[in-house]
């Protein structure tokens, strides 16, 4: 009995069929020159020596790749000596993720190709040990990757090998024995966020093109749109009568090629700008809202890698939005160094401007800063977690919590938590005796207060000054 599983697709990918006695077989139309050198097209059949469908699929993929690369004869002649490698497995795994519409599959492919395959690609899947995984992660740290990036590489490996383990292809998942290296550097400096006044100056400036004002407004005001999201905005999803509603595809989603479609009501202040932009584009009915503005691809959608960080900083600077006490003359014309992607120094202090340069405490402003500002504003406004997470499209409540933690509200100690303190009290004992005598609680034991601090670091100074803690003299 013969069961055909995959019908031969129009694109030559070959197909699999199963025989109960001998397992999986592959067949494919292929063209090879005959003895006289004339190309002959013929259906070829391959015995795959496995009863496992996933393994059979990977073998078929490998055969077809070899065929298209012109190296099939070598592969087929010695199939026993070239078992499926980890590279075959990982690539097939990523292909499966892409086919299932997993949005992060592209990133996973990049991480695995760049950091994992050089070390384990040639090994058989069962031969990959925790020490290999440890080496991959250590190499990534050596490359200067941040802890967050190393964690992502480990995550991709863990999912890939976890799938093989669940499928009983390997006895254990080697990644589960490996942690992210402790020495992976953490960069927890905050990104600089523009104040409302700075954003206002940016929007009011004649030096900034309308395009960048629109992008900044959308990212700051409209659901904290990400670069990839504004790049994919389409006029067909905009209410073009009164610009009151806009739908757009969110960039991050676990499944579904386009991400989640989100509809938001446009804040009144933003509608006139959206209308102005629509009219400046000759009121299209459909098509990308922010197409490429010049060059060969003018009018087309911006490519995936498009970022606005540098251009944003350029126009901020040209608009005179700076965070240093500028010593340049009032009529100084600000200029941007396109090659270095930084301001042409207007004065010596420009080098330390946190808007344009990383400092020990912060990272320079980028397009994502607007999204952070939006999330912070939601947290500051005390919007409930569910609404804030939905508006900003945060899938993880921990991300929202981060913003909430940094609001002013979370820095204020409520008055009810502060004990009633005497109006005058002297913590360092250096004041005159007359002043000490006036303080109510400390004055009783001024000598003990001084000595009692020895060996009590970390104790609350109020406890010490009240003399409540029994201390050995
Ligand atoms: Zn300056």
Query: What's the pLDDT tens digit per position in 72-83?
Result: 765 554 444 446
What is the mean pLDDT of the segment spanning 55-83? Answer: 72
| CATH value at residue 157 | 1.10.150.130
* Number of compact structural domains in the chain: 4
What is the 180 CA–ligand 1 centroid distance (Å)?
42
> Which burial class, exposed, middle or buried, applies to 229 when counting CB atoms under 10 A from its CB (0-12, 13-18, 19+)?
buried
Q: Is residue 385 part of a domain?
A: no
Instruction: Determine the length of the chain.
Output: 473
Q: How far is the CA of 4 from the centre of ligand 1 (A)?
A: 73
The rounded Å distance from CA 221 to ligand 1 centre is: 29
Give the pLDDT band of residue 444 (cuts 50, 70, 90). Answer: very low
Distance 295 CA to ligand 1 centre (A): 34
> 206: CA distance to ligand 1 center in Å?
20
CA of 41 to the centre of ligand 1 (A): 72
pLDDT, tens only, 127-176: 999 999 999 999 999 988 888 899 999 999 999 999 999 988 889 999 99
For position 269, what pLDDT does the model report?
85
Between residues 238 and 418, the one the model is more confident about: 238
Distance 333 CA to ligand 1 centre (A): 11
Residue 464: per-residue pLDDT: 35
Position 52 scores a pLDDT of 85
* Average confidence (pLDDT) over 223-242: 88
Q: Token pair of 258, please?
A: 């386009």
Q: Please state, in angstroms and as integers, the Cα–Cα distance from residue 391 to each residue in 221, 239, 242, 387, following that order.
A: 10, 19, 21, 6
Ligand 1 centroid to Cα of residue 326, in Å, is 4
Note whether residue 384 is domain-resident. no
Ligand 1 centroid – CA 327 distance (Å): 5
DSSP 8-state secondary structure symbol assigned to residue 179: P
Residues 202, 339, single domain; the answer is yes
The structure tokens 């795994």 sit at 93
Q: Name which residue leads in pLDDT, 453 or 203.
A: 203
- CA 353 / ligand 1 centre spacing (Å): 9
Calculate how far, in angstroms, residue 351's C-alpha sits from the geometric centre of ligand 1: 8
Q: Of 425, 431, 469, 434, which is closest to residue 451 (Cα–Cα)?
A: 469
Mark whether 333 and 198 lie in a shared domain. yes
Ligand 1 centroid–CA 338 distance in Å is 18
How far is 380 from 406, CA to CA, in rounded Å?
Answer: 9
CA 129 to chain centre: 29
Tell me how far the alpha carbon of residue 328 lies from the centroid of ligand 1, in angstroms. 5
Query: Shortest CA distance to 237 belongs to which of 274, 289, 281, 273?
Result: 289
- My answer on whether 438 and 331 are in the same domain is no
Q: Which DSSP helix (H) or strand (E) runs through 386?
A: helix 385-392
- The predicted model gives 221-240 an average pLDDT of 88
Q: Are residues 196 and 333 in the same domain?
A: yes
pLDDT of residue 473: 38
Q: Indicate whether 403 belongs to any domain.
A: no
For residue 373, the CA-to-ligand 1 centroid distance in Å is: 25
Question: How many whole angstroms from 321 Cα to the centroid of ligand 1?
Answer: 10
Task: State the distance from the centre of ligand 1 to the C-alpha of 202, rounded, in angstroms.
Answer: 17
Name the domain boundary from 84, 117, 134.
84
Cα(365) to ligand 1 centroid in Å equals: 17
- If one compares 335 and 425, the residue with the highest pLDDT of the two is 335
Measured in angstroms, how far is the CA atom of residue 316 from the centroid of ligand 1? 13
pLDDT tens string 156-169? 999 999 999 998 88
CA of 309 to the centre of ligand 1 (A): 21
Q: From ligand 1's centre to the CA of 204, what distance in Å?
A: 20
- 204 plus 329 within the same structural domain: yes
- pLDDT tens column, 266-321: 989 889 989 999 998 899 999 889 888 777 777 777 766 567 888 899 999 999 99
Same domain, 316 and 435: no
**CA 331 to ligand 1 center in whole angstroms:** 12
CA 306 to ligand 1 center in whole angstroms: 29
Do 224 and 343 have their domain in common? yes
Question: For residue 401, is it within any domain?
Answer: no
pLDDT in tens, 95-109: 888 888 777 788 899
Residue 438 has pLDDT above 70, yes or no: no
What pLDDT is stored for residue 166 in this prediction?
Answer: 92
Instruction: Give pLDDT, residue 275.
Output: 92
Find out whether 114 and 152 touch, Cβ atoms under 8 Å: no
Q: Does a structural domain hold residue 383?
A: no
Mean pLDDT of 22-41: 81
Residue 14 lies in a domain: yes
Do 88 and 62 meet the contact criterion of CB atoms below 8 Å apart?
yes
Q: Are residues 152 and 216 in the same domain?
A: no
Could you tell me if residue 391 is inside a domain? no
> CATH number, domain at 301?
1.10.443
How many angstroms does the Cα of residue 14 sit away from the middle of ligand 1? 65
CA of 356 to the centre of ligand 1 (A): 12
**Predicted local distance difference test score (pLDDT) of residue 467:** 36
CA of 209 to the centre of ligand 1 (A): 23
Do 332 and 436 have their domain in common? no
Same domain, 162 and 217: no
pLDDT tens per residue across span 193-204: 888 899 999 999
Cα of 334 to ligand 1 centre, how many Å? 9
Instruction: Looking at the structure, tell me whether residues 247 and 332 fall in a common domain.
Output: yes
Q: Which domain does 329 fall in, by range?
A: 191-363
174 CB-contact burial (10 Å; exposed 0-12 / middle 13-18 / buried 19+): buried
Per the domain annotation, does 184 fall within a domain?
Answer: no
Which contacts (CB < 8 Å, 24+ apart) does range 182-187 have?
183/141, 184/137, 184/140, 184/141, 184/145, 184/146, 184/147, 184/150, 184/151, 185/141, 185/144, 185/146, 185/147, 186/146, 186/147, 187/146, 187/147, 187/148, 187/363
* Cα 352 to ligand 1 centroid, rounded to whole Å: 10
In this prediction, residue 76 carries a pLDDT of 57
Lowest model confidence (mean pLDDT) among 148-162, 224-238, 389-403: 389-403
Distance 298 CA to ligand 1 centre (A): 36
Distance CA 361, CA 354 (A): 9
Q: What is the pLDDT of residue 78?
A: 45
Predicted confidence (pLDDT) per residue in 415-428, tens digit: 888 888 777 766 65
Measure the N-to-C terminal CA separation of the chain; round to a whole number of Å: 94
Mark whether 330 and 199 lie in a shared domain: yes
């Amino acid at each position: 009995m013969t069961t055909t599983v995959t019908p031969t697709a129009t694109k030559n990918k070959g197909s699999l069929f199963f025989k109960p006695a001998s397992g999986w077989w592959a067949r494919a139309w292929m063209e090879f020159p005959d003895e006289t050198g004339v190309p002959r097209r013929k259906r070829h059949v391959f015995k795959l020596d496995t009863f496992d469908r996933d393994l059979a699929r990977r073998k078929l993929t490998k055969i077809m790749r070899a065929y298209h690369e012109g190296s099939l004869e070598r592969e087929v002649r010695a199939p026993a000596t070239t078992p499926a490698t980890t590279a075959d497995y990982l690539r097939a795994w990523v292909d499966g993720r892409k086919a299932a519409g997993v949005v992060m599959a592209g990133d996973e492919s990049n991480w695995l190709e760049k950091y994992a395959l050089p070390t384990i690609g040639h090994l058989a899947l069962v031969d990959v040990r925790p020490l290999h995984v440890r080496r991959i992660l250590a190499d990534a740290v050596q490359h200067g990757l941040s802890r967050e990036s190393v964690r992502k590489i480990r995550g991709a490996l863990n999912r890939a090998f976890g799938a093989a383990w669940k499928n009983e292809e390997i006895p254990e998942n080697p990644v589960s024995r490996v942690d992210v290296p402790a020495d992976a550097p953490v960069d927890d400096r905050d990104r600089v966020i523009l104040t409302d006044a700075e954003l206002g100056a940016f929007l009011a400036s004649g030096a900034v093109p309308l395009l960048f004002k629109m992008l900044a407004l959308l990212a700051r005001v409209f659901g904290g749109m990400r670069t990839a999201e504004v790049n994919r905005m389409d006029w067909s999803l905009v209410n073009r009568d009164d610009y009151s509603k806009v739908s757009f595809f969110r960039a991050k989603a676990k499944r579904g090629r386009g991400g989640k479609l989100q509809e938001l009501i446009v804040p009144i202040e933003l509608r006139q700008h959206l209308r102005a932009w629509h009219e400046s584009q000759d009121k299209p009915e459909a098509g990308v809202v922010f197409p490429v503005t010049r060059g060969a691809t003018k009018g087309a959608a911006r490519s995936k890698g498009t970022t606005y960080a540098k251009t944003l900083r350029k126009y901020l600077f040209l608009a005179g939005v700076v965070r240093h006490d500028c010593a340049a003359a009032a009529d100084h014309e600000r200029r941007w160094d396109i090659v270095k992607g930084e301001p042409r120094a207007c004065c010596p202090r420009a080098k330390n401007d946190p808007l344009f340069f990383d400092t020990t405490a912060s990272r320079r402003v980028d397009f994502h800063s607007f999204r952070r500002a939006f999330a912070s504003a939601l947290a500051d406004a005390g919007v409930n977690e569910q609404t804030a997470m939905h508006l900003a499209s945060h899938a993880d409540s921990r991300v929202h919590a981060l913003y909430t933690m940094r609001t002013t509200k979370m820095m204020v100690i409520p008055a009810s938590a502060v004990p009633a303190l005497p109006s005058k009290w002297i913590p360092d004992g250096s004041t005159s005796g007359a002043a000490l005598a006036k303080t109510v609680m400390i004055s009783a034991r001024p000598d003990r207060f001084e000595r009692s601090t020895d060996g009590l670091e970390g104790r609350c100074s109020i406890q010490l000054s009240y003399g409540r803690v029994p201390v050995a003299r």
